[in-house]
Amino acid sequence: MAALSGIVALALHITACAPPGPTPAEISAATGLARLHTVEGEHEQAVRIYRELLAASDDAPFVRLGLAAALFQKGDLAAAAAEYRRILAEEADSPIALYNMARTLERQGRKAEAAVFAQHFVSLHGAELPALAAKAQQMMQPERPPGPATNAPPVRPRLDTRNSTPETEPTE
C-alpha cells in the first residue's frame, strides 16, 4: 500500500512539474482568431498562430488542418502540401485533407498527382459529400487542348421582357 501511494505521489509531482499546455478553451479561442485572420486576408498572422499552437500543444489534427488551409490561402502551396501529407500520414482517409491535397496539387500544376488524391477522396467520401465529389471529379479529368477558333460572333444574353425567358442574339 505504501508503494502504491508513493507511485501516486510521484505521478502527481510529475504532472505538477510538467509545463502546462493550452487548455481546450484556449485552443478554441486561438483557432477562432486564426480563422478570423484568414478571412481578413491576414494569412501570415493565421499561420503564426497555428504554428504556435502546434508547438505548445499536442499535434491536434484540426490545428494542422487550419495551418495547411492558411498556408494554401497565403499561396505557400509547397508548405500546405507538406502539412496535408503529415495529416494523411496519421489519418489516411481524412476527407478534408484528401480533397484539399488534391486542390493544392492542382493549383501547383501537378494534375496527375491531384487526380490520384481526388479519386481516393471520391471513392471514400463521394456518397456522403456529393458536392465536393463533383468538384473532385473535375480534377480527375484530363486537360483538353484548346479547341479550334471559330469565326462566329460572340453571343450576348438578351432578356425577353414579354415572358422573362433568356434568349440570345448575336453581337455586332
pLDDT tens per residue across all 172 residues of the chain: 454 344 544 444 444 555 567 888 998 999 999 999 999 999 999 999 999 999 988 668 899 999 999 999 999 999 999 999 999 999 999 999 999 999 999 999 999 999 999 999 999 999 999 999 999 999 999 876 666 655 555 555 555 445 544 444 444 4
Q: Total structural domains in the chain?
A: 2
Q: Are residues 67 and 104 in the same domain?
A: no
Residues 100 and 132 in one domain: yes
67 with 100, same domain: the answer is no
pLDDT of residue 157: 53
71 and 100 assigned to the same domain: no
Q: Rg of the Cα trace of the chain?
A: 25
Which of 54, 74, 128, 48 has its CA nearest to residue 96?
128
In one-letter notation, the amino acid at residue 104 is T
Q: What is the pLDDT of residue 154?
A: 57
Q: What is the pLDDT of residue 33?
A: 95
CA–CA gap between residue 103 and residue 97 (Å, rounded): 10
Q: Kindly state whether residues 72 and 96 are assigned to the same domain.
A: no
Query: What is the rounded CA–CA span in Å between residue 23 and residue 39?
Result: 24
The verdict on residue 134 lying in a domain is yes
| Interatomic CA distance for residues 156 and 86, integer angstroms | 48
Q: Which three cell numbers stand for residue 106?
A: 492542382
Domain extent, residue 43, equals 30-76
Half-sphere exposure of residue 3, counting CA atoms within 13 Å on the CB side? 0
- Residue 17's pLDDT is 55
Instruction: Tell me, yes or no, whether 67 and 38 share the same domain.
Output: yes
160 assigned to some structural domain:
no
Conformational region of residue 71, where left means phi above 0, alpha means psi within -120 to 50, and beta covers everything else: alpha
The reply to whether 70 falls in a domain is: yes
Residues 111 and 136 in one domain: yes
pLDDT of residue 8: 43
> What is the predicted pLDDT for the residue at 165?
46
CA-CA distance, 164 to 157, in Å (whole number)? 12
The pLDDT of residue 148: 61
Number of H helices, E strands in the chain: 8, 2
**CA–CA distance, 82 with 79 (Å, rounded to integer):** 5
In a domain, 57, yes or no: yes
- Which DSSP category does 150 fall into? -
Q: Is the pTM of this model over 0.75?
A: no
- Residue 57 is predicted with a pLDDT of 80
